[in-house]
Amino acid sequence: MKTTLLIIASMFSISACGGGSTAATTPTPPVVVTPPVVVTPPPVTPAVPSGGIPAGWKQVWADEFDKDGLPDASKWDYDTERNKAGWFNNEKQYYSRDRLENARVANGKLIITALKEALTGAADYGGQSYTSSRMLTRGKASWTYGFFEIRAKFSCGLGTWPAIWMLGTKGVWPDDGEIDIMEHVGKNKGQILGSAYSAAYNWNVGTGNTKQTTVNDACDAFHNYQLRWDENQLNIGVDDKYYFQFVNPKDGDYRKWPFLNPQFLILNLAIGGDLGGPVDDSIFPAQMEVEYVRVYQQ
């Protein structure tokens, strides 16, 4: 009996001295922190500003064309660079230099005249059957941002292609930008075109950025062709009413927005070409008249 009691006591002792609890421990699940969802609002297209000279902006450059004779050489040069090789867009004119027959100031106006003639004796003659003028402020004046107003009227003969426009001073097209304040072609009387081109947006790659408006008497009366340009957008209009808006995406992509650098102004009357189309030789002389060019800046 003593032996039995010892065995029972020994068994009890082993059970009582076991290595801890046999109950299972449930692990604590990790805390998962979900980051807040950040919603980026779509870019806001800036409002189109009201037309006319912006309040508080000051005139910084102008030509009132108040002195008869050749255009003011301190303000204007002539582009004749492609006469020999042929002009872009298959245009048919020869652009002359310092020639009253093609560009003169008279009666308070600049008059650019296109004629049916061939200047075969000119050293840079390229076989053209028409003469005209392409005047520009390159090397004389250029601007980054501003309000530009050009008061003008045009001949509407078939084949005429007058233009008021700007190019970047860096000199690479279309990378450095082109702004067309006004284009008109005689085959579409009264249809005025405004455009802005860059490396990303141009007609060569099928992304040309052009809008149009109608000015029924563009060939019979003077109108104010206008550009407002700042760091946010370009706006092109006629008589204080904008019909074209091109917004700066502000993503740092120069291909989309090269319009943070200076541009110079061009006035020309082209003949024929890809946009001008067939030419009616009975329309000559054809003219582009400009009463003034005025530039304002903040």
The three-state secondary structure class of 27 is: coil
Catalytic residue among 64, 81, 101, 183: 183
DSSP letter assigned to residue 23: P
> CA 147 to CA 225: how far, in whole Å?
11
183 is catalytic: yes
H or E segment at 265?
A: strand 263-271
Contact 227/179 with Cβ under 8 angstroms?
yes
Q: Of 149, 178, 289, 291, which is the active-site residue?
A: 178
Q: What is the number of other CB atoms lying within 10 angstroms of the CB of residue 65? A: 21
Asked if residues 88 and 197 have their Cβ atoms less than 8 Å apart, the reply is: no
- Give the containing element (helix H, strand E) for 54: none
Active-site residue, 291 included: no
Residue 65: which of 35, 104, 113 has the closest Cα?
A: 104
Element (H, E) at 253: none
Considering only CA atoms, which of 65, 237, 197, 63 is closest in space to residue 141?
63
Active site residues: 178, 183
